[in-house]
Structures are given as C-alpha cells and as structure tokens.
C-alpha cells in the first residue's frame, strides 16, 4: 500500500465519529495519508484544515496528514480570465472598519453610512480566509482565500443562495465553474401500518401529494387501504451542481462525475480509498472496480 486517501464531500461526513476513528486506524499503516477535500462551498476548506490541524495536535500520528483541496488540484491548470463583473473585485480602503476577534479568528467588517458592505474573515495572524461582499444587507459574493493569501474561489449568490462559483488557478483565472441547479426527485417509501412516519410532518406532505395528483377514486381506494402496508411516493427538490472545466470545456453533469476524474489523477493501484457512507452508492457505481472503504 502506497498511500491512503480520505475523500471529504461534506462537513457532515467530516464530523462523523467514524471519520476520526478510521483516520486514526489508517495512521497505523505508516504510509502517506491524505484528506482530499471536494467541497463546492470553498470557504469550508478552512473548516476542514482547522479540524485536521486539531486532530494533529491531539494525536501526533495525525500531525503529518496532507490536506489537498480542489483549488490545489487546479492550481497549475489553464484557465479563463474572468470579466470585471464575474470577478466582482471591490476596493475597501475608503470604508469604516470594525474589528471583532476571539481566540480562534477575527472578523473585520466594512461599513458605509452604517450599512454593511463587506466582511473579512481571517485567522488571528491576519491570514485571510474569506471575504463576503454585501448588497442591501445580503451576501452577494464570497471570495475564498488559500493558505498563501491568494484568492482561490469566487462565489456569486442571489437572495443569499449560491448560484455560480469559480475555482481559480495560480494566475487568478477561472479553471472550473460550478453552476447550481435544482430538480425534482421522486422518493418511494414503503410504510407499514404502524410506521412512525405516518404520524409526523411526513403525513402532511404525503396528503398534499395525494390531493394534488390522485383522482377522487384513487383517494377513496387509498383511504380504504389505510392501516395496511403500502407505498408512498413523495416528490422533493434536490440541489446539484454542474461543472465546466475551462481547459477542455468538458462539462460534467454533477460534481461526483468530476470528483471521479480527480481521484483518477491522484490514485494508484496501491491506494486505499475511504469515502463517506452517504455517497457510497454514487461513487461505487462510478468506480465499480475500485475497492472502497467507508466512514
């Protein structure tokens, strides 16, 4: 075994007790140990770094874990220069400043006529982490910095919701673009007559779908069957991101298709791979010949 890679696709997965447990067990093999951070919210890279750093302070075996982000992976890739509108850079030198600090980090707020214009989040050594730009008191853009102080990501938001994100190379050009989409997903539930789901808010959602999509005869038959095992179908919105690689203009329909190509670049036949159990069905289907361990 040449190396061990832990793929992190969400903060929920990172904070699972089993993640830390598996990480400590993997450290016993005394081979290079990497945490590959694959997060569309680039600012969360800092949360992962800080989490791994704390583990290293608590356990010397984890002190040399290499944290690799998507920004690291595209640092040397060709890119496309962003327009001024896409980049959205702003000069903050003329605004009033307020500094808020605790033992872990600082937040510097920039004000104009009493209104919040920008908010800079930084470590106590003044290493910048993220800059939030505001319009009418709502976040309109987030710039994320790398450990060296350079901007590695730009995210645009509408109504406080991310819409488009750019991952930048070392020249400040866009190497990747992530675009947020939504689609309706059909969830099928097999419920028993004593299922607790029938007594929760799920019941209201279920009834709304029944009323909207069933005829009177179908509703009558469904109500008559109440109390026996049955299947319920609920439609719910799902958020996903499409990915564009500017070097090749190759499009990926979702981030997991892109994550597979990232893994192909860093893995060898002697690599042990750990992924979050929550995304195992997705990743294992894309990598049918790869032995995958879960956390």
Q: Tell me the pLDDT tens digit for each residue of 155-200.
A: 999 998 999 999 999 999 999 999 999 888 776 766 665 555 554 5
**113-146 core/surface letters (b: 16 or more CB in 10 A; e: else):** eeebbbbbbbeeeeebbbbbbbeeeebbbbbbbb
Structural contact between residues 148 and 140, judged by C-beta atoms closer than 8 angstroms = no
Residue 189 lies in a domain: yes
Residue 173 near residue 81, CB atoms below 8 Å: yes
Helix (H), strand (E) at residue 262:
helix 255-266
Q: Identify the residue with better confidence: 256 or 136.
A: 256
**Residue 246 domain-assigned?**
no
Question: Please, what is the average pLDDT of the chain?
Answer: 89
Q: Answer whether residue 139 is part of any domain.
A: yes
Question: Are residues 84 and 71 part of one domain?
Answer: no
Name the domain count of the chain.
Answer: 3
Q: Is residue 14 part of a domain?
A: yes
- Residue span of the structural domain in which 132 resides: 80-168
What's the whole-model pTM score? 0.82
pLDDT more than 90, % of the chain: 73
Quote the CA–CA distance of 6 and 36 in Å, as a whole number.
6
Distance CA 204, CA 194 (A): 17
In-domain check, residue 99: yes
Q: Specify the CATH number for the domain of residue 64.
A: 3.40.50
């Amino acid at each position: 075994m040449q190396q061990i890679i832990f793929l992190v696709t969400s903060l929920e997965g990172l904070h699972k007790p089993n993640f830390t447990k598996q990480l400590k067990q993997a450290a016993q093999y005394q081979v290079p140990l990497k945490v590959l951070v694959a997060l569309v919210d680039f600012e969360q890279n800092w949360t992962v770094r800080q989490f791994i750093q704390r583990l290293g302070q608590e356990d010397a075996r984890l002190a040399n874990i290499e944290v690799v982000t998507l920004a690291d992976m595209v640092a040397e890739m060709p890119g496309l220069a962003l327009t001024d509108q896409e980049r959205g850079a702003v000069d903050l030198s003329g605004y009033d400043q307020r500094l808020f600090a605790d033992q872990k980090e600082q937040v510097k707020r920039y004000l104009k006529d009493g209104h919040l214009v920008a908010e800079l989040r930084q470590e106590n050594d003044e290493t910048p982490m993220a800059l939030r730009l505001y319009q009418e008191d709502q976040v309109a853009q987030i710039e994320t910095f790398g450990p060296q102080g350079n901007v590695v990501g730009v995210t645009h938001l509408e109504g406080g919701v991310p819409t488009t994100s750019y991952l930048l190379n070392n020249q400040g050009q866009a190497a990747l673009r992530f675009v947020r989409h939504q689609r309706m997903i059909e969830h099928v539930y097999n419920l028993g007559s004593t299922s607790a789901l029938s007594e929760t808010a799920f019941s209201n959602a279920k009834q709304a779908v029944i009323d909207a999509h069933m005829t009177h005869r179908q509703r009558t038959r469904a109500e008559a069957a109440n109390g026996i095992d049955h299947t319920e179908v609920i439609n719910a919105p799902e958020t996903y991101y499409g990915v564009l690689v500017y070097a090749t203009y190759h499009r990926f329909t979702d981030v997991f298709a892109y994550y597979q190509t990232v893994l192909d670049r860093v893995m060898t036949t002697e690599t042990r791979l750990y992924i979050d159990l929550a995304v195992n069905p997705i990743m294992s289907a894309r990598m049918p010949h790869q032995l995958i361990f879960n956390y």
